[in-house]
Amino acid sequence: MQKMKLFLAATATVGLMSVNAVAGNADLVKEGEKIFNTKKIGNCLACHAVNGKKINNPGNLGPKLQGLSAWPEQALYDKIYNPYTTNPISAMPPFGLNGVLDDHQIKAVVAYLKTVK
Ligand code: HEC
């Protein structure tokens, strides 16, 4: 655990927007899945169906998430940090930019999304 904190601190000093090898870290994957599914934090499940889970909202705003394991970690990070960089009219909130998720939480969600086939 201590080792992981050091690792995260080291990557954080490289730059807030930089993400390195978070996939496959079981603790992070678990934490990310929780954030994804929790209404008060990420609430991604409000808009995205994933891994056979149905969305919380009848509104279905976002696409069903699939094939994300093929995305580079940095692309996933950037999408969550600020979706407007790749889609200026995105209906998805900029979780990093608006401070809802911090750097560590976004990395955890990235680790979880890397498990989405
Ligand atoms: C208010 C609804 C909403 C919420 C909440 C939301 N998203 Fe999205 N998301 C969207 C929409 C709409 C798109 C499609 C437009 C785009 O690509 O920006 C999208 C696109 C994406 C994509 C790209 C999918 C693809 O196949 O191109 C990813 C990855 C993603 N969201 C992850 C997340 C994660 C992780 C969270 C939670 C931290 C989240 N989203 C929360 C609406 C939402």
Q: Is the minimum distance from the CB of 50 to ligand 1 under 6 angstroms?
A: no
Would you state the pLDDT for residue 6? 46
Would you state the pLDDT for residue 17? 58
Q: Is the minimum distance from the CB of 80 to ligand 1 under 6 angstroms?
A: yes
- Residue nearest atom 41 in ligand 1 by C-alpha distance: 44
Tell which residue, 50, 58, 56, has the closest CA to residue 38.
Answer: 56
What's the average model confidence in pLDDT over 15-19? 58
Would you state the pLDDT for residue 97? 96
Do the beta carbons of residue 95 and residue 62 sit within 8 Å? Answer: no
Ligand 1 centroid to 64 CA: how many Å?
Answer: 9
Would you state the pLDDT for residue 23? 83
Q: How far apart are CA 6 and CA 24, in angstroms?
A: 17
